[in-house]
Amino acid sequence: MIQYCRALFRNLRHRQALNEELDEELSAYVESVVKDKVCRGISPEEAIREARLEIGGLEQVKQGVRDARKGAFVEGLMQDLRYALRTLAGSFGFSSIIVLTLALGIGANSAIFTLFNGVLLKPLPYPDSTRLVMLWETLVRNGALDGVAPANYYDWHRETHSFEKMAAIDPYPDFILTGSGSAQRLAGAAVSQEFFSLLGVHMALGRDFLPEEDKPGSRQAVILSYSTWMRLFGGRTDVVGQSIRLNDASYSIVGVLPRNFYLVSKAADYQSRNRIDIWTPLALPSPPAAWQRGTHPLCVFARLKPGISLQQAQADLNVVAGNLQLLYPNDDKDRGIAATPLESHVVEGIRVALFTLLAAVVMVLLLACANIANLMLTRGAARQKEIAVRIALGAGRMRIARQLLTESLVLSLVGGSLGFAILLVSVPALVRHLPADVPRAADVSIDWRVVLFTSLLSILTGILFGLVPLYQARRVSANDSLKQGGGAVAADHSRVQNSLTVAQLAIAVILLAGAGLMTKSLWRLTEVSPGFRTDHILTARLSLPPQYANGFVFGTGKHPRISQFEDELLQRMRAVPGVQSAAFASYLPMSGVDNSWAFYIAGRAPNPPGVFDVTHYRPVSAGYFETMGIPVLRGRTFSESDTDGSPLEVVINETMARTWWGSQTPVGQHIRFGDQHWRTVIGVVGDVHHDSLADTPEPDMYVPYGQVPNVEARPVIVVRTAIEPDSVVSALRSAVSDVDPNVPIDQIESMKQLVYGSESESRFRTAFVLTFAFLALFVASIGLYGVMSYSVTQRTREFGIRIAIGATRGAVLRAVLARAAKFVCIGVCVGVAGALVLTRLIASLLFGVRPVDISIFVSVPVLLIAIAFIASYFPAKRASSVNPMDALRYE
Amino acid sequence: MPSSQTDLLQGTLDLLILKSVALEELHGMGISRRIMQITNGTFEVKAGSLFPALYRMEEAGWLTSFWGEAETNRRAKFYRLTKTGKKQLQTESDRWERISLAMASALRATREAS
């Protein structure tokens, strides 16, 4: 072994000296052979000739010795590497185009894979997360998922047998923190006692809730999220046991959650709130009150018992649902129960978008590979002579293959490393620009999966395009190549090359078509009138402390303290210079919050049981329509005098009017919701896009703040300004703290920002696909350029002869362009056909554009043809300027 | 080519080289001549097999080399058997003898003897 290592070391270290020794030894050998022969009386010339024949090629002997040496493989590898680097550095332009193409391809792929990995592939950040499910009430009528009534949760918990644990979360309660500086709103969640242990979370500090703390009227305990702990207490470890004032009551801190804990959720489940600051026990009475079967605020999590499948659990739930339907026909008559795996529930909405991105980026990589294979082919043809010479000098075919593969691998590894650098730079940027409602954004990071993916991708692409020149070298015969100058093989591989070019152009067309459709749909969205004015409006959310609702009785709308606060604030704001008007609303368009009520129309036959007329519920103050610029179509809207004392009134939108009154006028009709009081429809206003510009307007019912049936403790103030909305922010803050310093104000945004934010996901996606499409166009045109240049070089002699015998230069130019046109035409046709099939798959992502959009399907080919023309014009120009004399001397 | 045959040939060449170097220190051409001589012209070792074998055996530690003067009055590389080489020659010779005896008796076998 030591002997072996020493030999290996010596061979590698003193390779040069060893080679010289070998040379000398061999020449001495040759001399001896010759001398022998001369001694036997052969003439010296004849002796030398015979000796050569006998020995059979000194180079082959040397190669034999080199191969016999220890470390021949390592040495060969290093030689290959050195040779590869020298060759690649020799053709720097060629190498850099390949490395760049690869870097972009691999970088973009890995970036999207990082996103994909974070959102779809990584397991949820809870132990044994595949056993976690969410339980929902379902409407038997249409299968829609709904929140869970506390009383139903109570029964599920007791009567099912498939779950190790079941816990509920009420994600709505807000808390106002006072006692340290200015009042602030904390996003809260109330959870049942087993919630954290179900998810497998251990507190970073302190302890979990105790069973006795999860009972009504018990000591008030809270658990802080890590970020809240850092923000409010600077990470002090003595917070456990301290008390804080929330909603004017004293709570005792029992624990702090670990830094990496977050509640994996879909934004829609929790009204756009992915962050929860503070946790309290749900404290459900046992058994719950009867009315707690008619309200559905809870989300329920459960952990399947080991060995129990989702189907078994669902069967168990179906039995329980059947029992509840019989026991509580009033509330549960048409309700079922559904279990959905937590993992798939969370990413449900984003799947299509992510797969679109992935498909686009994989196409870019394929295109990059095709392009590189093409360039390699081009160069391979030029290198056939070199390869033939090496074979003639005694290189084995395996050796040549290894050499070519080494070159490709060097290129792909350099490209891959550069791609990884692009990835490192782009992932933080990517995460920053992720739309707010992408679930699991916190999980998007570069981990071992991504590193493995990038490395494998580099090596695979290296092998993939390394195979092409190998295929070519396979049939190189030393004789033919040296004799014919490589012309014979060229014809054979040009077919591969041509189809690669056509494929590239087709992929570019598909991507451009997809990107075009998405861009057009985004553009359509910006053209949609939201139904209100978006400019010069400032919005902010206020959180009213719970004591504002003291003395409030459900349904009567008597809450003088809230009215007083709101009136006072509006008066102050209207007096601020630059402010034109101000108003309140509870559910502002594009803010992600919503509410609905069932309602009844006076004088109409009641609906069959289980069928409800439902409309969105929008409490607003007087002046809201003017401030928002929502047009009044019929009748009038609210005035300052619409209070709890005056007749009850509502305003409805156009869609609601059309849906239930058709062509008749609803003004003067009476409707009822929530309580027994009839309310008069006094006006009809224009439709408003509430969730996003892409949705269709739904029925809306506006109710004056003074007459709402329950407390609206989180009013949003809307201020219309004559100046930049941002310039009245400080005036708004001081006005609020003047009226009541205990009212927190947050989410201060202009209406423009809100609208812009509501489209962020589609803008993000479009920007990406568009980038990829242009990348593809760029790469494809390089490919076309490469192929055309190569064919012009190959045919230099032909062009020379043509020109020599009288072809005009214009004719040569046209001939080359015609050849390019053939590729482009086939490529465009294939691409358009592919796009017609593939764009159907993204129909759900499009708005206001059909998957087959004439303008896109015309303009994309035109764009491609124009770019292709430029890419092939230069080689054509070169062909037409061939000097006949040079061309004939060529080779 | 089946590998057993290669091994046999290689073994043969190694043995012949060891044997010729055991008698006196020789350079490449000398070894080639000596092999021809001691095998009565049956084996003619070409440079393409000889030199790789010499290098391989030197790396295995059976041979050492040094530069000396050849009959052509120029520097030539001479090979000498090492201690390991001697041992190797012994084992190889024994093995070869066993094989050749076995082969000889096998080929002499007749119907009566079996």
Q: How many angstroms separate the CA atoms of A497 and A490, rounded?
A: 10
Phi-psi map region of B109: left, alpha, beta (phi>0 left; psi -120 to 50 alpha): beta
Residue A480 confidence (pLDDT): 57
* Interface touch B47/A61, C-beta < 8 Å: yes
Enumerate the residues of chain B whose CB falls inside 8 A of the CB of residue A40.
none
What's the DSSP call for residue A807? -
User: What is the percent of chain B with per-residue pLDDT over 90, rounded to a whole number?
Assistant: 2
The closest of A820, A742, A760 to A785, measured between CA atoms, is A820
Structure tokens at A831: 């691409």
Give me the total of CB pairs closer than 8 Å, taking one residue from chain A and one from chain B.
79
Domain of B96, in residue numbers? 3-108
Q: Cite the beta strand spans of A323-383 per DSSP E.
A: 335-341
CA distance A53 to chain B (A): 11
Residue A114 confidence (pLDDT): 87
Residue A830 confidence (pLDDT): 92
Enumerate the residues of chain B whose CB falls inside 8 A of the CB of residue A64.
48-49, 51-52
* Interface touch A56/B60, C-beta < 8 Å: no
Enumerate the residues of chain B whose CB falls inside 8 A of the CB of residue A32.
27-30, 70-72, 76
* Interface touch A28/B28, C-beta < 8 Å: yes
Place of tokens 């060969």: A76
Q: What are phi and psi of A558, to 5 degrees?
A: -95, 100
Instruction: List per-block mean pLDDT (blocks of 10 residues) for chain A, which spans 891 residues.
Output: 64 71 81 82 83 76 73 71 79 79 85 84 83 90 84 93 92 79 82 92 92 85 91 88 87 90 62 71 87 85 93 93 89 87 79 80 82 76 72 72 82 88 86 72 81 86 74 60 49 69 86 86 81 90 80 62 87 92 90 82 82 87 92 90 79 94 91 85 93 85 85 86 91 91 86 82 79 81 77 78 84 86 90 88 80 87 88 85 73 50
Decide if A619 contacts A585 (C-beta within 8 A): yes
Burial code of A184-215, b = ≥16 C-beta within 10 A, e = fewer?
bbbbbbbbbbbbbebbebebbbbebbeeebbb
Residue B103 inside a domain? The answer is yes
Phi-psi map region of A236: left, alpha, beta (phi>0 left; psi -120 to 50 alpha): beta
Residue A573 confidence (pLDDT): 92
Give Cα separations from A732 to A177, A521, A561, A567, B51 (angstroms): 20, 37, 20, 14, 95
Enumerate the residues of chain A whose CB falls inside 8 A of the CB of residue B48.
55-57, 60-61, 64
Structure tokens at A271: 């009204």
Enumerate the residues of chain B whose CB falls inside 8 A of the CB of residue A25.
27-28, 51, 76-77
Cis amide bond preceding A428, omega within 30: no
Decide if A871 contacts A784 (C-beta within 8 A): yes
CATH classification of the domain holding B89: 1.10.10.10
When computed from its CA atoms, the radius of gyration of chain B, rounded to whole angstroms, is 16
Amino acid sitting at position A777: L
> What ipTM goes with this model?
0.76
Decide if A739 contacts A568 (C-beta within 8 A): yes
Give the containing element (helix H, strand E) for A635. Answer: strand A632-635
A residues 38-57 lying closer than 8 A (beta carbon) to B? 54-57
User: Chain A within 8 Å of B34 (Cβ-Cβ)?
Assistant: no
Q: Cite the beta strand spans of A667-742 per DSSP E.
A: 670-673, 678-685, 700-704, 716-721
Residue B92 inside a domain? The answer is yes
Structure tokens at A810: 């214009």
Residue B1 confidence (pLDDT): 32
Structure tokens at A127: 């132990």
Enumerate the residues of chain A whose CB falls inside 8 A of the CB of residue B46.
54-56
Enumerate the residues of chain A whose CB falls inside 8 A of the CB of residue B61.
3
Residue A485 confidence (pLDDT): 47
SS3 letters across A216-233: CCCCCEEEECHHHHHHHH
Enumerate the residues of chain A whose CB falls inside 8 A of the CB of residue B27.
25, 28-29, 32
Which positions ≥6 away from A464 have C-beta within 8 Å? A369, A373
Q: How many CB atoms lie within 10 A of CB A847?
A: 19
Quickly list H helices, A137-292: 150-159, 195-199, 226-233
CA A329, A701, A138 angle in degrees (round to 5)?
30
User: Chain A within 8 Å of B68 (Cβ-Cβ)?
Assistant: no
* Interface touch B56/A68, C-beta < 8 Å: yes
Decide if A575 contacts A567 (C-beta within 8 A): no
Which of B51, B72, B76 is facing A65, going by the closest CB pair? B51
Residue B81 inside a domain? The answer is yes
In the predicted structure, residue B113 carries a pLDDT above the cut 90: no
Residue B4 confidence (pLDDT): 35
What residue of B is the nearest CA neighbor of A55?
B47
Which of A21, A25, A64 is facing B48, going by the closest CB pair? A64
User: Chain A within 8 Å of B48 (Cβ-Cβ)?
Assistant: yes
When computed from its CA atoms, the radius of gyration of chain A, rounded to whole angstroms, is 38
Decide if A619 contacts A707 (C-beta within 8 A): no
* Interface touch A28/B55, C-beta < 8 Å: no
Query: Can you give the pTM of this predicted structure?
Result: 0.64
Mutation for B interface: A4, A29, A31, A55, most B CBs within 10 A: A29
User: Chain A within 8 Å of B70 (Cβ-Cβ)?
Assistant: yes
User: Chain B within 8 Å of A676 (Cβ-Cβ)?
Assistant: no
User: Chain A within 8 Å of B60 (Cβ-Cβ)?
Assistant: yes
Q: How many angstroms separate the CA atoms of B25 and B81, rounded?
A: 8
CA distance B98 to chain A (A): 29
Q: Where do the structural domains in chain A lie, given as residue ranges?
A: 2-70, 142-333, 350-527+760-889, 544-743
Which of A3, A24, A32 is facing B75, going by the closest CB pair? A24
* DSSP states along A269-295: GGTT-----EEEE----SSPPGGGGS-
Decide if A206 contacts A200 (C-beta within 8 A): no
Residue B114 inside a domain? The answer is no
Residue A482 confidence (pLDDT): 55
Mutation for A interface: B59, B67, B79, B82, most A CBs within 10 A: B59
Which positions ≥6 away from A883 have C-beta within 8 Å? A800
Residue B11 inside a domain? The answer is yes
Sign of the dihedral defined by the CA atoms of residues A429, A432, A435, A441, in that order:
positive
Which positions ≥6 away from B72 have C-beta within 8 Å? A28, A31, A32, A35
The closest of A630, A582, A692, A585 to A272, measured between CA atoms, is A692
Decide if A588 contacts A750 (C-beta within 8 A): no
Enumerate the residues of chain B whose CB falls inside 8 A of the CB of residue A57.
48
Burial code of A621-632, b = ≥16 C-beta within 10 A, e = fewer?
bbbbbebbbbee
User: Chain A within 8 Å of B98 (Cβ-Cβ)?
Assistant: no
What residue of A is the nearest CA neighbor of B28?
A29
Give Cα separations from A526 to A259, A433, A692 (angstroms): 39, 19, 11
User: Chain A within 8 Å of B108 (Cβ-Cβ)?
Assistant: no
Which of B47, B56, B74 is facing A55, going by the closest CB pair? B47
Length of chain B: 114
Enumerate the residues of chain A whose CB falls inside 8 A of the CB of residue B79.
none
Decide if A627 contacts A637 (C-beta within 8 A): no
CA distance B111 to chain A (A): 45
Q: At what angle do helices A92-116 and A72-90 cross, to 10 degrees?
A: 100
What residue of B is the nearest CA neighbor of A11?
B59
CA distance A63 to chain B (A): 9
Enumerate the residues of chain A whose CB falls inside 8 A of the CB of residue B71.
32, 35
* Interface touch B77/A60, C-beta < 8 Å: no
* Interface touch A31/B72, C-beta < 8 Å: yes
Mutation for B interface: A10, A30, A32, A40, most B CBs within 10 A: A32
